[in-house]
Amino acid sequence: MQGTLHTYHPTRSLLLFEHLNTNPAAASASPSATSQQLAPRNTLIFVGGMFDNFLTPPYTCDLASLYRDSSRWRVCHVQLSSAMRGFGISSLAKDVQELCVAVKFVRETLCAGGGTGSAAAAAAAAAAAAAAAAAAAGGGGKVVLMGHSTGCQDLLSYLYLETKTTGPLHDRPRIDGVILQAPVSDREGAMPGPDASPEHTARWAKCLRFADRTEESERRTTLLPMHATIPLFGPVPLSVERFLSLASPGSPERPGEDDLFSSDAAEGRLRETFGVVGKGDGVLRRMGRGQEEREMLVLVSGADEHVPGHVDKAALLGRWKAAVEEGAGRLHRASQVVVDGLHDLGGDDVKRRHARMVAMRAAVMAYLDDVLGEEGPESVVEQVWRRERDGIIEGERRRLSGEARI
């Protein structure tokens, strides 16, 4: 997969990967124009989950290929300090802080173009100032954030969380859309259920005792024993503070910062989180040509291996929808439980490919179209999607036909 790496956070050496865009309109542009100046005005920024970095989960490349020739959207993937094995010593608040820097970088640098030399630098600075003014006024290119797994916690936190680390909501860069793919509860996925092994239950209890004995002022800098945490959260150093946020032993009455998607969440917790989507003074702008609604797209994986079997995914999506609407927002019409979709939408059989290549991408495509409020003839993106969808259907038809002959 080709693209460009940008340093969006020089202090922390954090990178933003911009997937290659071969917009046909660039062919008739001025030879002196830079690739950034030729890129689409609107940006989809992808935020991964635990253990993810660039190009993971793999479907990010499937999304990027869909928009490779688009004149309207480019696809970027942001790297946070919590990427790969960093999540155990990071926090959602720190992720939000870094996302603010990334969104500002996209609006004021990527969307403004770039160059080299003093004249180009001056032009870029002027363009950045203009882009910042346009963004503040609600103009300029659109920026949509899409999160996978723990990236969904990051994005919901971007909408509601206010701490000393994140700063106040009114200082946060505004965004034009939010997509949650595979939002899951880390607490429900890791805590021992009725069928858990005695070893799993013992490790969980040991971690809780260790955390409880740690002084509150030392929880951020104290690590749990890795022999106890590896079977629960994988091979990462895990601070007591992050463990308690993920395990959230006080839930549902006193949920941890990470406990946003549990099936037993209290109604008050849903109002505090999902209920902010429609807030007039929030960070999510109204979408579409008529600028009528603030909408979020939620894609729950129907065969998510990290969701316990007792959780009714459709009912949980319904609770989130009710909380969003109670707060004057709206869940986008393409929100759904993606049939046969795994957590990362992986898999090569026809059911998994349909979930990833057809259902998920169709939903994202519909949402991004509605963010722009554009209607008209079939776009290049839709043509690519339709061609690949038909290929999957035809391949399965031939396979079944061959089996029937045998």
Domain boundary, last residue among 247, 268, 283: 247
Which residues, listed in sequence order, are joined to residue 239 by a DSSP beta bridge?
223
200 pLDDT above the threshold of 80: yes
Q: Is 372 part of any domain?
A: yes
Q: How many CB atoms lie within 10 A of CB 211?
A: 18
Q: What is the pLDDT of residue 156?
A: 98
Q: Which two tokens stand for residue 198?
A: 């005695």
Q: Is 253 part of any domain?
A: no
375 shares a domain with 350: yes
Q: Is 255 part of any domain?
A: no
360 pLDDT above the threshold of 90: yes
54 shares a domain with 203: no
The separation between CA 152 and the C-alpha centre of its own chain, rounded to angstroms, equals: 5
311 shares a domain with 225: no
Do the Cβ atoms of 203 and 232 come closer than 8 Å?
yes
Q: Is 97 part of any domain?
A: yes
Q: Is 11 part of any domain?
A: yes
208 shares a domain with 342: no
What percent of the chain has pLDDT above 70?
Answer: 86
Q: What is the pLDDT of residue 368?
A: 95
Instruction: Give how many domains the chain has, as a whole number.
Output: 2
Interaxial angle between packed helices 198-213 and 240-247, expressed in degrees from 0 to 180 and rounded to the nearest 10: 120
135 shares a domain with 212: no
Q: Please give the model's pTM, rounded to 2 decimal places.
A: 0.89
Place of tokens 């940008």: 6
Q: Is 254 part of any domain?
A: no
Q: What is the pLDDT of residues 304-323, one digit of tens each?
A: 999 999 999 999 999 999 99
214 shares a domain with 114: no
Mean pLDDT value across residues 286-295: 79
392 shares a domain with 337: yes
Q: What is the pLDDT of residue 291?
A: 66
394 shares a domain with 375: yes
Of the candidates 240, 103, 89, 82, the one whose C-alpha atom is nearest the C-alpha of residue 150 is: 82
For residue 335, the enclosing domain spans 3-185+260-405
Q: What is the pLDDT of residue 378?
A: 55
Q: What is the pLDDT of residue 120?
A: 42
The separation between CA 298 and the C-alpha centre of its own chain, rounded to angstroms, equals: 10
Q: How many CB atoms lie within 10 A of CB 167?
A: 14
Confidence category of residue 181, pLDDT binned at 50, 70, 90: very high
Do the Cβ atoms of 365 and 385 come closer than 8 Å?
yes
Q: What is the pLDDT of residue 71?
A: 87
The CATH number assigned to the domain holding 274 equals 3.40.50.1820
331 shares a domain with 302: yes
Of the candidates 163, 149, 153, 166, the one whose C-alpha atom is nearest the C-alpha of residue 306 is: 149
Give, in degrees to the nearest 5, the angle at Cα 355 between 294 and 175.
25
337 shares a domain with 229: no
Q: Output the average pLDDT for the chain.
A: 88
Of the candidates 165, 37, 20, the one whose C-alpha atom is nearest the C-alpha of residue 99 is: 165
Q: Is 346 part of any domain?
A: yes
Annotate the chain with three-state secondary structure: CCEEEEEEEHHHCEEEEEECCCCHHHHHCCCCCCHHHHCCCEEEEEECCCCCCCCCCCHHHHHHHHCCCCCCEEEEEECCCCCCCCHHHCCHHHHHHHHHHHHHHHHHHHCCCCCCHHHHHHHHHHHHHHHHHHHHCCCCCCEEEEEECHHHHHHHHHHHCCCCCCCCHHHCCCECEEEEECCCCHHHHHCCCCCCCHHHHHHHHHHHHHHHHCCHHHCCCCECCHHHHHHHHCCCCCEHHHHHHHHCCCCCCCCCCCCCCCCCCCHHHHHHHHHHCCCCCCCECCECCCCCECEEEEEEECCCCCCCCCCCHHHHHHHHHHHHHHCCCEECCCCEEECCCCCCCCCCCHHHHHHHHHHHHHHHHHHHHHHHCCCCCCCHHHHHHHHHHHHHHHHHHHHHHHHHHC
276 shares a domain with 241: no
Mean pLDDT value across residues 382-389: 83
Mean pLDDT value across residues 25-49: 68
Domain boundary, last residue among 225, 247, 269: 247
Q: Which two tokens stand for residue 74?
A: 């480019």
115 pLDDT above the threshold of 60: no
307 shares a domain with 161: yes
